[in-house]
Structure 1
Amino acid sequence: MRFGFRGRDVAPAPGLAASRTTLENAVLKATIAADGTLASLIHKPSGREALAGPGNQLWAYPVDKPRNWDAWDVEDDYAERGEQLTALDSLELVERGPHRAAIRVVRSFRNSTITQTYVLAANSPRLDIETTLDWHDRRVFLRTRTPVAARAMTATFECANGVVKRPTHANTSWDQAMYEAAAHRFIDLSETGFGVALLNNAKYGHNVRGNVLGLSLLRSPIYPDPLADEGTQSFTYALLPHAGDWHESGVREEAEDLNQPLLLREVSGLRQGTATPLAVGGIPAAFSGLKAAEEGGGLVFRVYEPAGRRGDFAVTAPGWTAAPVTILEEPQQRDAPAELMPFEVRSWRLTRG
């Protein structure tokens, strides 16, 4: 992990191709069905088909009337009254450039319009689904469902500074209660050697039942706000097939990129070079923050271990001194068998000299 910059020309990766129903690069080949769902998503490095049925199915549950707390509750029997949205207004190739290609699907549901654009970048291992809802209906629950070609007893849900494992079955009353569960930027279902992640940049209600990845896109309750979710909203979610387990294949990093994409600015008259004011070494860690210290000057640098590993970890900042501190930015005395423990949050105060 390095924090710095390097000037260079940005050339597209070779191999991006597109037609009205296919998007393909060196990593993925996606095929769009006539009803706008994903007919196929092939992970080319492994040769695996990632889907076990139509992907990105859109389902509307038009009787979303909880017994209590209209805007907060989701009833456990909501799925019994759903309808899949299969009719299309249009399906067309809207972009075919050297860096990315895109297919747009437009649907109507009652008084609302759903516009989804399947986007594949030239060097991307994920298929983005850019979604814009022009919503004018009440008490309708909208979800996406994708059956994937992977099976496991548990799925991985990202949470603050780590992950939790949740069951993919409903064997007990506790399991049954997890028909809707929170996750931050991704969920992942992996078997030995292969898995599929569902990433998002604005939606947090998920579930995994069997091999079906689900994401809640919209609810339109009438209390306490009678016009909740009314109007236009945009967000993106993505499917990421991968070899190996989620933490070996960059799932968290791709989710980070989806939520905080690299910002580029074209400049001229500058010399190319590399600068690394801050670097770390050791086991993989996730960047949490770099901020001004609350008291006493200097900066506070914070990371966390995201996957349950332990091992060596060191911070290097030329011209600065790095001293361990607690989350309250007080001097820290650690008594741990490794420099970074599973799911540990660590902070350092950086002072000049």
Structure 2
Amino acid sequence: MYGKWDAWDIKDYFTHQGIEFDLVKSPAISVKGNLVSCLDTAKQFRSSVVEQRICLSGDSPVITVKNRIRWLDKGVSTKDWFTINASKTKAFYDIPYGVIERSTTRESTWDKAKFEVPAVRWVTILGEGKGLTIIASSRHGYSAIGNRIGLSLIRSPIYPNPRSDLGEFEVEYYIYPHLEDHQEAEVPKVIHQVLHKVKAFSAKIDGEASLMVIEPQKLVLGSLKVSEDLDGYIVRVYNPYKDKVKAVIRFNHLLNISRVLEVNVIEIEAQGEIPVNDNAVEIKLEPQKIKTLKIVLNEKQ
């Protein structure tokens, strides 16, 4: 599978000349309940073993796949493949602050060179009104070919590090089957629910409160941080959908906001001041666009 420079150069023949793992543990139910049910299985390739736990939740269509990998073989690339029942397909990839469509065919030399391409957190393959989204926060190499999509789990090159990706690993990814495309299925919203789970803890408080609320929930919060000049806070949002979004961002009144400025991505050029009304601002965002806001607080907090 590797070329001259193992860690960087791979060849495309792995997409059609792969070797399937041997099943060493038949699928068996390990957890059965109203909230979650799981089955366990295990597969082996040469001296390496992958143990999988596949879980279904009672309140979500998202399937969780937990992999415990003991990898001992060098010079191998390992992929999990998924197939949808469709002949004509498209693939959509999550990129920083946006989504890009890539071909699933290999008709041109450009497309042939893209037998594996990167994505940040998810990839959707869509065909004939059916979609399948693979979500992974720790793995970023994907191959979408025809009606199949592959996720790279392990690469164990020999050069320059002969022990690269050898040992024991835990890799978790998610499978989200849905109708229509990634926008109608609200994939950007679903991946945040999956990857940023709610943590519950005990506390004595009155009522409820949020630091910030975005309404409607169409924009994605990309950053919330201190500004580079240490003179305020940066809120960066983007619109991953195909329609223009008009939204209101409401801040907790404890913040006591003085001004809100729209700035560029590197925060050095103000592009105008946005009116603040009752500690909230109204913004409009075109499809696939980013907006960076600088929040300036009153000095007396």
Pairwise TM-score range, normalised by the shorter structure:
0.7 to 0.9
Conserved 8 A contact 1:293-1:299: yes
Conserved 8 A contact 1:150-1:189: no
Name the residue aligned to 2:293: 348
Name the residue aligned to 1:326: 264
Task: For 2:207, give the aligned amino acid.
Answer: G
Name the residue aligned to 2:7: 71
> CA distance change for structure 1 residues 257 and 69 in 2, over 3 Å: closer, same or farther?
farther
Q: Deviations over 1:140-175 (max 9, x none)?
A: 211111111244442101111111111111111112
Q: Secondary structure at the match of 1:78?
A: helix
Quote how far apart the aligned CAs of 1:251 are: 1.5
Aligned equivalent of 1:303, options 220, 228, 237:
237
Aligned residues: 284
Aligned equivalent of 2:148, options 200, 205, 212:
212
Q: Normalized against structure 2, the TM-score is what? A: 0.86
Q: Normalized against structure 1, the TM-score is what? A: 0.74
Q: Deviations over 1:99-125 (max 9, x none)?
A: 312111112222111101001122121
Quote how far apart the aligned CAs of 1:199 are: 1.3
Name the residue aligned to 2:44: 108
Q: Deviations over 1:28-64 (max 9, x none)?
A: xxxxxxxxxxxxxxxxxxxxxxxxxxxxxxxxxxxx3
Conserved 8 A contact 2:220-2:238: yes
Query: Which aligned pairs between 1:85-234 and structure 2 lie closer than 5 A?
Result: 85-191=21-127, 193-234=129-170
Q: Deviations over 1:299-349 (max 9, x none)?
A: 111111123432423333243242222222245326xxx821222221112
Aligned equivalent of 1:257, options 193, 207, 215:
193
Task: For 1:327, give the aligned amino acid.
Answer: V
In structure 1, C-alpha distance between the alignment counterparts of 2:90 and 2:98, rounded to whole Å: 16
Gaps of 5+ in 2: 273-282
In structure 2, C-alpha distance between the alignment counterparts of 1:323 and 1:219, rounded to whole Å: 45
Task: For 1:243, give the aligned amino acid.
Answer: L
In structure 2, C-alpha distance between the alignment counterparts of 1:283 and 1:234, rounded to whole Å: 32
Name the residue aligned to 2:171: 235
Residue 312 (structure 1) aligned with residue 246 (structure 2): yes
In structure 2, C-alpha distance between the alignment counterparts of 1:288 and 1:238, rounded to whole Å: 21
Quote how far apart the aligned CAs of 1:296 are: 4.7
In structure 2, C-alpha distance between the alignment counterparts of 1:316 and 1:141, rounded to whole Å: 47
Conserved 8 A contact 1:207-1:213: yes
What percentage of aligned pairs have identical amino acids?
25
In structure 1, C-alpha distance between the alignment counterparts of 2:269 and 2:215, rounded to whole Å: 22
Quote how far apart the aligned CAs of 1:200 are: 1.2
In structure 2, C-alpha distance between the alignment counterparts of 1:283 and 1:254, rounded to whole Å: 11
Displacement over 4 Å in runs of 4+: none
> CA distance change for structure 1 residues 193 and 332 in 2, over 3 Å: closer, same or farther?
farther
Quote how far apart the aligned CAs of 1:294 are: 2.2
Task: For 1:65, give the aligned amino acid.
Answer: Y
In structure 2, C-alpha distance between the alignment counterparts of 1:74 and 1:296, rounded to whole Å: 44
In structure 2, C-alpha distance between the alignment counterparts of 1:69 and 1:296, rounded to whole Å: 44
Conserved 8 A contact 1:200-1:255: no
For the aligned residue pairs, the C-alpha RMSD in angstroms reads 2.1
Aligned equivalent of 1:274, options 208, 225, 245:
208
> CA distance change for structure 1 residues 243 and 78 in 2, over 3 Å: closer, same or farther?
closer
Conserved 8 A contact 2:139-2:153: yes
Q: Secondary structure at the match of 2:210?
A: strand
Gaps of 5+ in 1: 1-63
Moved more, 232-241 or 243-252: 243-252
Quote how far apart the aligned CAs of 1:282 are: 5.4
In structure 2, C-alpha distance between the alignment counterparts of 1:153 and 1:92, rounded to whole Å: 33
